[in-house]
Structure 1
Amino acid sequence: MLSNSRTNGHAFKDKVMKTQIIKPTELHAKSRLNALLSVGEETKVVNHSEGPDTLVCPLNMSAEERKAWIKEKLPEFGIFKSTALSKQFERRAEKFLNGGCEAQFFMTWIAPVESFGKREFVTLETLFKAHPKGCLMILSRSLDSTHGKQIMKPLIDRGFKATAIAPDLSFLLKRTPAEAWLAEMKEGKRDPGEISLAQNLSNLLRLAVLYKYGGIYLDTDFIVLKKLSDLHNSIGAQSMDTKSNSWNRLNNAILIFDKGHPILYKFLEGFSHDFDGNRWGHNGPLLLTRVVKKMGEKLHYNMTILPSFAFYPVDWKKIVEFFRKPSNEAAWKRKAASLLQLNNTTYSLHLWNKETSKTKIEEGSIIDQLISDHCILCQHTHSF
């Protein structure tokens, strides 16, 4: 049920650039398992922006009508508002990150606090299980609240360092190519498109916060299996050409970069220049893919493109199978083989929440087993 990307311990070759594969011994090991699922060719981006703060333009508007609409409605959109909390972002962020972190992690949450559920909390648990001395900062206005503090309190009470801070969008984009995009959006000079603006802002925020501070960005629908901090300046391939072992699509659900890394600047530049709010993934996974392919042989940055089994070993079309309990002896054997391969070669398993948010995790399934093996509080139920 895993992608059949292989590695032989040599430099990983792709169509665009030669990349050094940073991985532990397990990631070098040649897979002994047959592929059980094929890698998909279609991108679906996780949407963590459902709720009243989504800000989606009404359908059947022209581009000019959407520009006028966004100019009128933008002041009502929470993340664009300047508040007492957001004005303190720089001070609070630096104080938190300067407190001694083995590794610093970032997430974004632009949805209402009530929608941060058990599954998202499992991502936090598995992150800290693998990085007990790491620091996690969630860029979120809704979680930067009394309710949000209660959500993270069980981990904080156990000594883990986690917080949510309302982001200051203007500060994070200052002196980046996306600063002009923000100004034009506020002035009604940019078409926001028909897709949730919150979704695209999440794509933008992760680039901006890594460019400003450096560290590891992680979506809230992963099970972390091993230390991400062992990696350096890395992006994961979402899909691979299994014959040539070359990547054909990148994904931005996990990004690992030093502060001020030049490829992050290129991504921010690409977001600003080529923004399209009408196409899913255009300003996220496809942005990274376009930029890196366009750079081609000009790309001399210290950067690693990891094969799909590092972060995305299971295609979004097939991930639901991992939520189901094996139904016969052959299925149990496939489960054991899949668990072995995941534990040997995968850093974090993407759950593709857009596809599985309403899928029950059945007791005895692969997902159930992985959560049980990597949780801290281990209070998850099979109802989420």
Structure 2
Amino acid sequence: MAKKSPTYRLIGRAAKSPVFSTIAFAAILFFMYAERLMPSICSKTSHEILQTTQMSTTPAIQGEGEGQLSSTLNDMPVTIGTERRIEDAVENEDPLIPPFKASIEERMEWFRRKLPELEILKSNGLSEKFHGRIQELFNKDCSAQFFMVWLSTAKSFGAREFLAVDSLFSTSPNGCLVILSSSMDSPKGQGILKPLLDRGFNILVITPDLPFLVKNTPAEAWLDELKSGNMDPGSVPLFNHLSDLIRLAVLYKYGGVYLDTDFVFLKDLSGLQNTIGAQSINQVTKKWARLNGAVMIFDAHHPLLVDFLQEYATTFNGNRWGYNGPYLVSRVLERVRDRSEYNVTIFPPNAFYPVDWIKIAKLFKKPETEADEKWAEETLLDISSESYTVHLWNKRSRELKIEEGSVMARLIADHCNICENVYDP
């Protein structure tokens, strides 16, 4: 027999030790019972993870406000760091985005599964008093009724969006603004707008009641079909299309001024009536080539709004960005442009869109040369004298910094109340 190694002899002596025997016996018991305990532990952990996942996704889609989430989180045995991560996950969730490169059948099946979560398509507890709250605001002797739509998260309502609201009230201090948004209809949203609310400006943030808005309009049947799950929602995120619909429907119901949230307002819009702006003109005929619905001013129940809603319902295409928005208003106005009974004024591009989206970046830059300075002075003079608004084309300019001394900085300085974070992108 081979000679035993020193290590083997050491283990052998240890095995005869009472202490070693006790430890070994305890280890055997642990492994015997661990197999029974693990399924229970795993099951509980999976259940808690599922609950956390449901909490972090549902409010972002439903837009139920952050108060509910906070109260639920306070009852959970989690650390502050975990709670913060859950809240961040909720705020950072994208709007409803369909699967990438899905077929029509796959997309429709996916949409049917998502339908129960889409509170924006329902009249719920937050929106059932919709009409009463809006009427209460408009009873405040408003100089004009303004509307904005915000279907993204409250966290993404940033300095540029705040600037739009701020500059609106610099030109129309006695106006009343309704922001249709479930995410901003929350403590966080109120906190963002607090500097303006504290100054007494008439702002109502309200969760939109889409079924109420489209009731008895041509779009009512369209919404019912969408909710049935038998319609392809398209490859473009649905919230883009719903924003196009809400702006048309709210103008039809109440009348007033619809505005996108990426403008600087330079003049009071309250004197305008039944107006829409051209984005571009045909250089040969000098007639408008493309309209844009980022600014629309209409009386309630105007017949053109009925035509817009009819066009939306009958030609909806969820696969093309802008098809149900700026392209829609252009299609309809092209058909009725010579019909005087509509009594619509189409403003030239310099009224609302004085700078094309391709050239917008130059307005953000500080002049570096004498030629730049001359251009800036001339541009500033032209815009100030001829334009009601400047569209910032946020898809193009959101990441641009407004440099001190730029045309944009000088325009803003004369058209804001709070003027906070002006130079933040």
- Fold-level similarity (TM above 0.5): yes
**TM-score relative to the length of structure 1:** 0.85
Unaligned 5+ runs, structure 2: 1-90
1:89 pairs, out of 123, 130, 150, with 130
Q: Of 208, 217, 222, which residue of structure 2 is paired with 1:176?
A: 217
Residue number in structure 2 paired with 1:125: 166
Q: Does 1:343 align with 2:384?
A: yes
Cα distance change on mapping 1:53 and 1:213 into 2, 3 Å: farther
Cα distance change on mapping 1:201 and 1:80 into 2, 3 Å: same
Aligned to 2:109: 68
Give the equivalent residue in structure 2 for 1:106. Answer: 147
1:141 paired to 2:185 = no
Letter in 1 for 2:361: V
Which shifted more, 61-70 or 338-347? Answer: 61-70
Query: Is it true that 1:201 corresponds to 2:248 in the alignment?
Result: no
Q: Please report how far the alpha carbon of residue 65 of structure 1 lies from its aligned counterpart in structure 2 after TM superposition.
A: 2.6
Question: Using the alignment, how far apart are the partners of 1:134 and 1:383 within structure 2?
Answer: 27
Say if 2:189 is the partner of 1:159: no
Q: 2:409 aligns with which of 368, 371, 379?
A: 368
How do 1:307-326 and structure 2 match up within 5 A?
Answer: 307-326=348-367
Give the drift of 1:288.
Answer: 0.3
Q: How big is the shift at 1:310? A: 0.4
Matching residue of 1:6: none
Partner of 2:95: 54
Residue 96 of structure 1: how far off its partner (Å): 1.4
Q: Kindly provide the amino acid, as one letter, of the partner of residue 245 in structure 2.
A: L
Structure-1 separation of matches of 2:330 and 2:340: 13
Contact 1:152 1:163 in 2 (8 A): no
Distance 2:340 2:184 in 1: 38
1:213 is aligned to 2:259:
no
Letter of the aligned partner of 1:321 in structure 2? Answer: K
Residue 66 (structure 1) shift: 2.0
- Maintained 8 Å contact 1:107/1:137: yes
- In the alignment, is the contact (CA less than 8 A) between 1:75 and 1:81 conserved in 2? no
CA distance in 1, matches of 2:116, 2:269: 38
Q: Deviations over 1:44-93 (max 9, x none)?
A: xxxxxx95251111022222332222222122134124431111111111
* Equivalences for residues 285-324 of structure 1 within 5 A: 285-298=326-339, 300-324=341-365
Partner of 1:28: none
SS in 1 for 2:291: strand
Judging by fraction of residues, say which structure has more helix: 2
Please tell me whether the aligned partners of residues 146 and 177 of structure 2 are also in contact (alpha carbons under 8 angstroms).
yes
1:137, CA displacement in angstroms?
0.5
Q: Which residue of 2 aligns with 1:251?
A: 292
Aligned to 1:24: none
Alpha-carbon distance in 2 for matches of 1:187, 1:342: 48
2:305 paired with 1:264? yes
- Structure 1: gaps (5+ residues): 1-49
Q: Which amino acid aligns with 1:238?
A: Q
Give the percent of matched residue pairs that are identical in Structure 1 and Structure 2. 51
Question: In structure 2, what is the equivalent of residue 14 of structure 1?
Answer: none
Contact 1:53 1:77 in 2 (8 A): no
- Choose 1 or 2 for highest CA Rg: 2
Contact 1:292 1:299 in 2 (8 A): no
Cα deviation code 1:275-298 (max 9, x no counterpart): 001111100000000111123434
Q: TM-score, normalised by structure 2?
A: 0.77
Deviation at 1:188, TM superposition (A): 1.5
What amino acid maps onto 1:125 in structure 2?
A: D
Q: CA 1:77–1:53 in 2, change beyond 3 Å: closer, same or farther?
A: farther
Aligned residue for 1:114, secondary structure, equals coil
SS in 1 for 2:279: strand
Secondary structure of the residue that 1:338 maps to in structure 2? Answer: helix
Q: Distance in 2 between matches of 1:381 and 1:312?
A: 20
Corresponding residue SS for 1:189: coil
Q: Which residue of the partner structure matches residue 268 of structure 2? A: 227
Q: Output the CA distance in 2 between the equivalents of 1:61 and 1:373.
A: 49
Contact 2:163/2:422, CA 8 A, preserved across alignment? no
Q: How many positions carry a matched residue from both structures?
A: 335
Q: Which has the higher contact order (CA 8 A, sep 6+)?
A: 1
- Deviation of the 1:163 alpha carbon: 1.5
Structure-2 separation of matches of 1:51 and 1:82: 25
Give the match's secondary structure for 1:59: coil
SS in 2 for 1:87: coil
Structure 1 contact 53–78 (Cα < 8 Å) conserved: no
Amino acid at match of 1:77: L
Q: Distance in 2 between matches of 1:381 and 1:227?
A: 21
- 1:181 and 1:51 map into 2 onto residues whose CA distance is 30
Question: Offset at 1:258?
Answer: 0.3
RMSD: 1.4
State the match for 2:118 in structure 1. Answer: 77
